[in-house]
Amino acid sequence: MATISGHCLILLLILFFFSFNSLAFSKKCHPNDKKALLQIKKDLNNPYELISWNPTTDCCTWSMVDCDEKTNRITRFDTSDANFGLPIPAAIGDLKYLENLAFHKVNATGQIPESITKLTNLKFLDLRWNSLTGPVPSFLSKLKKLTYIGLSFNSFSGTIPASLSQLPNLGGLRLDRNKLTGSIPESFADFRQQDFYLYLSHNQLTGNIPARLGHANFTWIDVSRNRLEGDISFLLGKNKSLNTADFSRNMFQFDFSK
């Protein structure tokens, strides 16, 4: 009887050991990331869409976020088709390993928080289909790893910051469907990536398209429905990289005799 009891005790200890270790290893979430996410949830008034964000569970299992398998840090934050109706929380900047950030079609209001400049690993930024206002912030040019910026279908106003051309990895820029004014920056000819695509349609842009853009590596450009003018023949021709373009609803001229 004593031997059987001893075996049972050993078995219970083994089960406890493996259960404890399994629980320990399942808690992958970094405490700094969990703290930032819970602050974001609070700033968004604890919406139903974030109901899985329970402080007693591993944040790597929460909806709308992904963790890196090696570092266990949050690398993706992707919210879509919600109705937050609030500004983007400044605490988003505390997710310092974030590579992919999307507040898409969530009725976000106000301006882009400057705390976003702390996301030095950010590659993909999608803030389309919201109610964001103010200028397109020049501080976005500090995020040197960005490959895509999507700000279309908002109410951004003012001029386009020329500093965006300082982003060495940017391959796509969407600023269409806003209230932007002024001219297209000449520095946009400095974008380095091949197959660059640029959307500026449905704004209030004026002036000529800078001639330097004729030497840029655009494959897709849409500047339709603005107030642009002048000759844009330099953008066209068999030696150009441009595959698709929409120049409609402007005041352009074409001189193919040159």
pLDDT of residue 16: 45
Distance CA(74)–CA(70), nearest Å, equals 11
pLDDT band at 17 (very low <50, low <70, confident <90, very high): very low
Distance CA(29)–CA(186), nearest Å, equals 45
**Helix boundaries (H) for 61-200:** none
Q: What superfamily does domain 31-253 belong to in CATH? A: Ribonuclease Inhibitor (3.80.10.10)
| Ramachandran bin of 125, using left for φ above 0, alpha for ψ from -120 to 50, beta for the remaining angles | beta
- Residue range 40-98, pLDDT digits in tens: 999 999 999 999 999 999 999 999 999 999 999 999 999 999 999 999 999 999 999 99
For residue 182, give Cα distances in angstroms to 17, 24, 179, 186, 201: 67, 57, 10, 12, 13
The H or E element containing residue 13 is helix 2-26
**What is the residue-averaged pLDDT of the chain?**
90
Residue 110 has pLDDT above 70, yes or no: yes
Lowest mean pLDDT among 7-16, 24-33, 46-55, 181-190: 7-16
